[in-house]
């Protein structure tokens, strides 16, 4: 926008001030009359040209591409420029007058050009001949023009600048497309991070790669500029076929192993049946042993209860009052025999509980030699 403003603003001001300079010379220095004449003549030209530029940039703002929509700012700048041309420029013309052309001296009127005057008179009097002469002059240039389209904006600059020379060195080493790539923008309302979106990007990349002059296309599906082989249908079919072959081989090995196992089971069928019968007999024997242990336990409990019932009663001598010494000694002797018998019965019971056969103790007669 700045370049456009400087360009058309400078041209329009030069046109108005040059015409103002001529009108000052014709009107004897009358500034107001010179300003009015200037804007009645050159002012119309400037206004028409400015309006054309304004409408052109305003129409570009209706484009769908957001970068071109920024041209509306240029249209606004042109509108402000036109306002300044009919307000500020006449103000400085009226205030400064001839001083605006300082340090120019002498007459402010420029001399007419004989060449352009003759060309204008000839064109007005002989328009057909003027077109013929113009065609003869332009014919050599039209024969040289090839109409080649180039997207290299550096061709307009020239090779005399160091930046252009450096760019050419990079282009010669890596290729012009690597240093100055062209970006293609896809706009869609659908998500492109899905399988369908990636497939669409790959189709667009394939179409762009087929355009003449395009060396490589980098996209989400082609980050290195080449289409991954894993995304190609042929590669996927080969991978699937290889996987199916490996699966078939694995199934064959499993089938062979099952057949070998079946043969081994058939050969050892008799041994397996014998082992099964032995296992059944072992289970039956275990049950019988468990039943015998239960019977033995009940018999031992019965023996223990019988021993407890056959235990002799203790002899008490506390209440006995023998009249003679011999009788007292005999009583205490019987009590000792009773305790001895009780100990013997208890020992027999404990031995029987442990599985040792013990006969009940026999009664013994205690003889005590009494002192005379």
| Residues 34-43: tens digit of each pLDDT | 889 989 988 8
Residue 368 has pLDDT above 60, yes or no: no
Owning domain of residue 118: 113-141
Q: Are residues 227 and 205 in contact, defined by beta-carbon separation less than 8 angstroms?
A: yes
Same domain membership, residue 79 and residue 6: yes
Specify the 3-state DSSP secondary structure of 230: helix
Same domain membership, residue 7 and residue 84: yes
Same domain membership, residue 97 and residue 1: yes
Residue 288 lies in a domain: no
Same domain membership, residue 210 and residue 132: no
Q: How far is CA 62 from CA 53, 65, 68, 337, in A?
A: 15, 9, 8, 137
Same domain membership, residue 325 and residue 252: no
* pLDDT tens digits, 158-205: 778 888 888 888 888 887 777 778 888 888 888 888 888 888 888 888
Same domain membership, residue 97 and residue 8: yes
CA distance 286 to 295: 14
Q: Where are the alpha helices (DSSP H) in the chain?
A: 2-26, 31-60, 66-69, 71-85, 88-96, 114-125, 127-144, 162-174, 176-179, 195-209, 233-267, 269-309, 325-353
Per-residue model confidence (pLDDT) at position 31: 86
Residue 150 lies in a domain: no
Mean pLDDT comparison of 188-192, 340-344, 347-351, highest-scoring range: 188-192
Residue 197 lies in a domain: yes
In terms of Cα–Cα distance, which of 155, 150, 182 is closest to 168? 155
Residue 303 lies in a domain: no
Residue 189 DSSP code: S
Residue 146 lies in a domain: no
20: burial class by Cβ within 10 Å (0-12, 13-18, 19+)?
buried
Same domain membership, residue 33 and residue 13: yes
**Residues ≥6 apart with Cβ < 8 Å to 363:** 337, 341
Measured between its terminal Cα atoms, the distance across the chain in Å is 160
Residue 58 lies in a domain: yes
Residue 147 has pLDDT above 70, yes or no: yes
Query: Who has greater pLDDT, 66 or 105?
Result: 66
Residue 94 lies in a domain: yes
Q: How many domains does one find in the chain?
A: 5
Specify the 3-state DSSP secondary structure of 156: helix
Same domain membership, residue 15 and residue 64: yes
Q: pLDDT averaged over the chain?
A: 76
Per-residue model confidence (pLDDT) at position 269: 67
Same domain membership, residue 98 and residue 2: yes
Residue 13 lies in a domain: yes
**Residues ≥6 apart with Cβ < 8 Å to 324:** none
Same domain membership, residue 132 and residue 44: no
79-88, 141-150, 329-338, 356-365, range with the lowest pLDDT? 356-365
Same domain membership, residue 4 and residue 97: yes
Same domain membership, residue 67 and residue 27: yes
């Amino acid at each position: 926008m700045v370049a456009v403003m400087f360009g058309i603003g400078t041209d329009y001001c030069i046109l108005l001030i040059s015409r103002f300079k001529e009108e000052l010379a014709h009107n004897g220095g009358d500034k107001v009359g010179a300003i009015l004449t200037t804007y009645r003549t050159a002012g119309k030209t400037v206004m028409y040209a400015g309006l054309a530029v304004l409408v052109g940039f305003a129409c570009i703002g209706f484009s769908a591409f957001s970068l071109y929509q920024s041209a509306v700012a240029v249209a606004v700048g042109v509108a402000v420029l036109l306002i300044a041309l009919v307000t500020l420029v006449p103000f400085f013309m009226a205030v400064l007058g001839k001083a605006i052309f300082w340090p120019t001296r002498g007459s402010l009127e420029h001399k007419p050009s004989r060449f352009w005057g003759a060309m204008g008179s000839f064109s007005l009097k002989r328009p057909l001949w003027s077109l013929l002469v113009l065609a003869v002059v332009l014919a050599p240039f039209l024969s040289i023009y090839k109409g080649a389209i180039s997207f290299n904006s550096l061709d307009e600059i020239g090779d005399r600048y160091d930046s252009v020379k450096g760019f050419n060195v990079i282009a010669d080493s890596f290729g012009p497309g690597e240093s100055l790539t062209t970006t293609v923008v896809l706009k869609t309302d659908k998500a492109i991070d899905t399988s369908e979106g990636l497939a669409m990007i790959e189709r667009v990349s394939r179409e762009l790669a087929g355009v003449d002059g395009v060396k490589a296309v980098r996209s989400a599906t082609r980050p290195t500029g080449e289409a991954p082989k894993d995304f190609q249908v042929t590669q996927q079919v080969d991978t699937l076929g290889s996987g199916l072959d490996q699966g078939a081989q694995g199934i064959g090995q499993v089938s062979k192993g099952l057949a070998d196992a079946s043969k081994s089971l058939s050969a050892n069928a008799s041994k397996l049946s014998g082992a099964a019968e032995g296992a059944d007999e072992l289970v039956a024997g275990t049950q019988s042993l468990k039943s015998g242990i239960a019977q033995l336990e009940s018999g031992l409990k019965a023996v223990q209860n019988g021993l407890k019932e056959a235990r002799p009663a203790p002899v008490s001598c506390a209440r006995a009052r023998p009249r003679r010494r011999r009788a007292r000694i005999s009583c205490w002797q019987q009590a000792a025999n009773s305790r001895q018998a009780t100990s013997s019965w208890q020992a027999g019971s404990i031995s029987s509980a442990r599985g040792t056969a013990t006969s009940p103790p026999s009664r013994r007669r205690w003889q005590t030699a009494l002192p005379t």
